[in-house]
């Protein structure tokens, strides 16, 4: 079975500071991993995804994440936070089962990012 753990339900950074949101996964098969962002009262929007190509994945809005198999991690980073980055961020892994991909995503509990001026 696959699972995702996001460390820290709430992270606060100052504008211009480094953003680091942590995600660790558990999977018995090579995982496909995703980061989604949810702005208040909106649906989820894909930031980036890892699908077994390059381990460093670049996404929208200056975010990137690095797949580290040895650490079972897929942490999300951004060098310099903007006020507009304040949102909730979800890490997810594709569910696999007998016969291959089951299609749906398994999500972490989310991390709320606050950005202080």
Partner 1 sequence: GAGVSQSPSNKVTEKGKDVELRCDPISGHTALYWYRQRLGQGLEFLIYFQGNSAPDKSGLPSDRFSAERTGESVSTLTIQRTQQEDSAVYLCASSSTSGSRETQYFGPGTRLLVL
Six-digit token pair at 61?
């809005």
Task: Kindly state whether residue 94 participates in binding partner 1, applying the rule CB under 8 A.
Answer: yes
Candidate residues 10, 68, 69, 109; the one interacting with partner 1 per rule CB under 8 A: 109
Task: Kindly state whether residue 32 participates in binding partner 1, applying the rule CB under 8 A.
Answer: yes
**Total of chain residues touching partner 1, rule CB under 8 A:** 27
Nearer to partner 1 (CB atom), residue 2 or residue 81: 2
Task: Kindly state whether residue 76 participates in binding partner 1, applying the rule CB under 8 A.
Answer: no
Six-digit token pair at 67?
């797949």
Candidate residues 49, 62, 64, 86; the one interacting with partner 1 per rule CB under 8 A: 49
Residues that bind partner 1 (CB under 8 A): 32, 34, 36, 41-46, 49, 51, 90, 92, 94-96, 100-110
């Amino acid at each position: 079975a696959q699972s995702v753990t996001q460390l820290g339900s709430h992270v606060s950074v100052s504008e211009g500071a480094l953003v680091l949101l942590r995600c660790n996964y558990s999977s018995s098969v090579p995982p496909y991993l995703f980061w989604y962002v949810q702005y208040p009262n909106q649906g989820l929007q894909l930031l980036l995804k890892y699908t077994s190509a390059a381990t460093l994945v670049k996404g929208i809005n200056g975010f990137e994440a690095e797949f580290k198999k040895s650490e079972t991690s897929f942490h999300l980073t951004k060098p310099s936070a903007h006020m507009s980055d304040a949102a909730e961020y979800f890490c997810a892994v594709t569910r696999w089962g007998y016969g291959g991909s089951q299609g749906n995503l398994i999500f972490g509990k989310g991390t709320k990012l606050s950005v202080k001026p």
